[in-house]
Amino acid sequence: MGTSRNVERRTILKAAGASAAVLGLAATTGCGGDGGTSADGTVTIRYAWWGGEPRAIAIKKTIALFEKKFPKIKVKPEFTDYEAFWEKFQTQASGGNPPDVFQNAVGFLRKYDKRGVLMDLKSQADSGNLNLKNFRNGVLANGQVDGKQVGIPVGANTMSLVVDLKAFKKAGVAPEFGWTWDDYFAALQTIQDKLKIAGDTGYFSIMYLYDLYLRQHGKAFFTDTALGFTEDDLTQWWEDGYKRVKSGLVADPKKIEQVKPKSGLSAGLAASEFTWDNFSIRYEGEGESDYGLAPIPTTDGKDTGQYLGSLMLSAFSGTKHPKEVAQFIDFMVHDPEVGAIMGYDRGILATTEQYDAFTPTEATNKGVKAYEEKVAAEGVLGKITPHPSGADVIEAAFLRIGGEVAQGKTKPSDAAKTLFSEAKAAFAG
């Protein structure tokens, strides 16, 4: 809920493990940032985010707009890639000096709320400095932890299936809303038989996809404090996945590694790949085919288990400038001109003001908008699954261990035990 965003996503999942060595964070007092107040009353706040250069260029344009409207507030930008961002942030937070405002994601909310780093922004909303209205499809709830509003969504996205349109057409396969997992795997078999390529790049190491599958069965990947499934559940998921690797239905993981950072889908090694819908712009730039979004397979022909994820803005609880920080966040999530500048870089725009201000003209963005509108119209969107403290570490572990299963390095049952062991340590951190 990046620039070449699935590349960023893969980096995210692998790099998140860097935060496994949980640092003891110092108590956060009123020592926020190195921003201060000048003699003429001008306030400086620090704003940090991760992403590529196109995102940085766009955000700097929005900062200039903000500073024009609020001339007494200056914004110091800090940006880097995902891995470096969270390594730096953890160090800053442990020293009580994180940025005043920063880009955040659901996997980190409880982790840093638990350490007292995140401001509850409800107080600023009550003071009239931040508007918590006009958020689309209930996405504001993504930033809530234990009754506190610790994140404000800037964009929203949902899981999807990206398909090679030419391959699916050539194989005579037409995915539709309500198709089942059996239908999906039968379609992949048809593609393999007719086109002699794998159907999927490696679905079973994607934590968020497994979450949808669990939700279709009345469970979820996480509860508020633990994993929401059993070792047996995961063993079965990974056993089924490994069988499909051995049969060629899922692409050879060694070949997938060889083409990185290009995706196995855009490299022509497989005909489909599960990912967040707004990451789909990546494939048009990388591949030689045409790509589109297809529905998530279901268990019962209806429930996909989907929800809206999001990137969001959070504030440091110890900032010296809470009012100005809230005004900045409010501007960044509600101002129509900001929405027009940012477009869908961080997902479908979260507020109605910004959503209405941006009309996509590029085919991929049009497809993302149409896909999310269709998913919403189908009535399948539910509430986001809780993400306890440690979720970021577990996500990275799930990707890594799932990859070991795919390569035949670890038996599924042993892999499930390892995942549960690492999750226990992550929750305790």
- Residue 28 shares a structural domain with residue 127: yes
| Predicted local confidence at residue 35, as pLDDT | 56
Question: Per the domain annotation, does 418 fall within a domain?
Answer: yes
**Domain enclosing residue 221, as ranges:** 159-306+385-428
Q: Does residue 260 sit in the same domain as residue 407?
A: yes
- Do 61 and 182 share a structural domain? no
Mean pLDDT score, 334-344: 97
Tens-digit pLDDT profile for residues 230-254: 999 999 999 999 999 999 999 999 9
Q: Are 263 and 273 in contact (CB under 8 A)?
A: yes
In a domain, 289, yes or no: yes
What 3-state DSSP class applies to 37? strand
Do 117 and 23 fall within a single domain?
yes
Contact call for residues 108 and 392 (beta carbons, < 8 A): yes
* Domain match, 183 and 41 both: no
**Same domain for 184 and 302?**
yes
Same domain for 35 and 124 = yes
- 279, pLDDT greater than 90: no
Residues 209, 211: Cα–Cα separation, whole Å: 5
Overall average pLDDT of the 65-81 stretch: 97
Domain count across the chain? 2
* Residue 375, in any domain of the structure: no
Examine residue 419 and state whether it is found in any structural domain, yes or no: yes
CATH of the domain at 147: 3.40.190.10
Do 186 and 260 lie in one domain? The reply is yes
pLDDT for 5: 37
The verdict on 21 and 133 lying in the same domain is: yes
pLDDT of residue 39: 73
**Confidence band, pLDDT 50/70/90 cuts, at residue 363:** confident
Is the residue at 368 inside a domain? Answer: no
CA separation for the pair 126, 195 (Å, rounded): 59
| Pair 184, 288 in one domain | yes
Neighbouring CB atoms inside 10 A of 383's CB total: 10
- Same structural domain, 143 and 173: no
Predicted structure pTM score? 0.85
Considering the domain architecture, whether residues 128 and 202 belong to the same structural domain is answered as no
Q: Is residue 319 part of a domain?
A: yes
Q: Phi first, then psi: what are they for 164, rounded to 5°?
A: -80, 105
Structure tokens at 245: 């690797």
Q: Using an 8 Å Cβ cutoff, are 308 and 381 in contact?
A: yes
